[in-house]
């Protein structure tokens, strides 16, 4: 009897050990709801890239980022909520820009294929409230004197054109999502040469390598992200998953 009991105990211990080693299923993000401007079947990565583009083009990175239009704080955003009135303003602005873009072929006499669609950056140029240079400088001069006007000019120049390393990462991400990982990597490698300490560039490269199922280079890029940004929790989780 004692021998049988020991065997049973051994089997129980082995089963418990096997259960403990079984990796937990990755937690799926909640389904996207309350999409009123974009199709309800829009891929999550595509929508996230679009929203990040809004943050960049409006220059609200230091004004709360996502919370400029949404409710909550990272990582507990309530994206479906309409409690923030700026969210409805943003919806109406998107519809307005689409309407204007739709009229441009008639106004300019050009075919739709040659028309540049209106985007946030077309007017905002990196400013939450769009102002031409003369007005922006005049306002800054009145509020903070010459020093304030100079600072306003320097800050605006940094983000006035939607043509920087963040914009390139955003575009490369759309290429990755469109199964064009090689093209994305070509752009991102050039970005890394120009801005070698830009962690989002290497994070995007990791996504591109993941698309190609190149786990070795994906891990190398995630390690590079963590060298630059040791507190990047997403990169840590992705690297941990690769190493299991």
Least confident of 36-50, 77-91, 119-133, 187-201: 119-133
Question: Cα–Cα distances in Å, from 128 out to 57, 63, 93, 216, 233?
Answer: 8, 9, 13, 41, 29
Q: What is the mean pLDDT of the chain?
A: 83
* Structure confidence at residue 27 (pLDDT): 66
149 and 94 both lie in a single domain? no
Segment 176-209, tens digit of pLDDT: 988 889 988 998 998 898 889 999 999 999 999 9
Per-residue pLDDT at 101 exceeds 80: yes
Q: Give residue 125's pLDDT band: very low, low, confident or very high (50, 70, 90).
A: confident
Distance CA 67, CA 128 (A): 13
Which has more confidence, 27 or 151?
151
Domain end among 161, 182, 213:
161
228 part of a folded domain: yes
Q: Which DSSP symbol is given to 196?
A: T
Count the domains in the chain: 3
**The token pair that represents 149 in the structure block:** 């006007």
* Average pLDDT estimate for 159-181: 77
Expressed as residue numbers, the domain containing 67 is: 44-124
199 and 171 both lie in a single domain? yes
């Amino acid at each position: 009897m004692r021998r049988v009991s020991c065997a049973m105990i051994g089997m129980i211990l082995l089963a418990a050990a096997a259960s403990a080693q079984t990796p937990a299923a990755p937690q799926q993000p909640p389904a996207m709801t309350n999409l009123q401007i974009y199709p309800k079947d829009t891929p999550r990565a595509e929508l996230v890239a679009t929203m990040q583009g809004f943050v960049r083009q409006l220059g609200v990175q230091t004004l709360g980022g996502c919370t400029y239009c949404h409710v909550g704080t990272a990582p507990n955003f309530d994206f479906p909520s309409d409690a923030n009135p700026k969210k409805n303003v943003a919806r109406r602005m998107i519809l307005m820009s689409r309407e204007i873009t739709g009229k441009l072929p008639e106004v300019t006499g050009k075919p739709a294929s040659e028309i540049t669609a209106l985007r946030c950056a077309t007017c905002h140029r990196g400013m939450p409230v769009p102002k031409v240079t003369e007005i922006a400088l005049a306002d800054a001069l009145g509020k903070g004197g010459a020093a304030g006007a100079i600072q306003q000019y320097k800050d605006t120049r940094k983000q006035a054109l939607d043509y920087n390393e963040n914009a390139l990462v955003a575009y490369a991400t759309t290429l990755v999502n469109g199964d064009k990982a090689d093209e994305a990597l070509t752009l991102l490698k050039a970005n890394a040469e120009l801005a070698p300490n830009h962690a989002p560039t290497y994070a995007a490269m990791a996504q591109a390598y993941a698309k190609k199922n190149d786990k070795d280079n994906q891990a190398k890029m995630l390690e590079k992200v963590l060298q630059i940004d040791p507190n990047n929790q997403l990169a840590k989780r992705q690297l941990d998953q690769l190493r299991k």
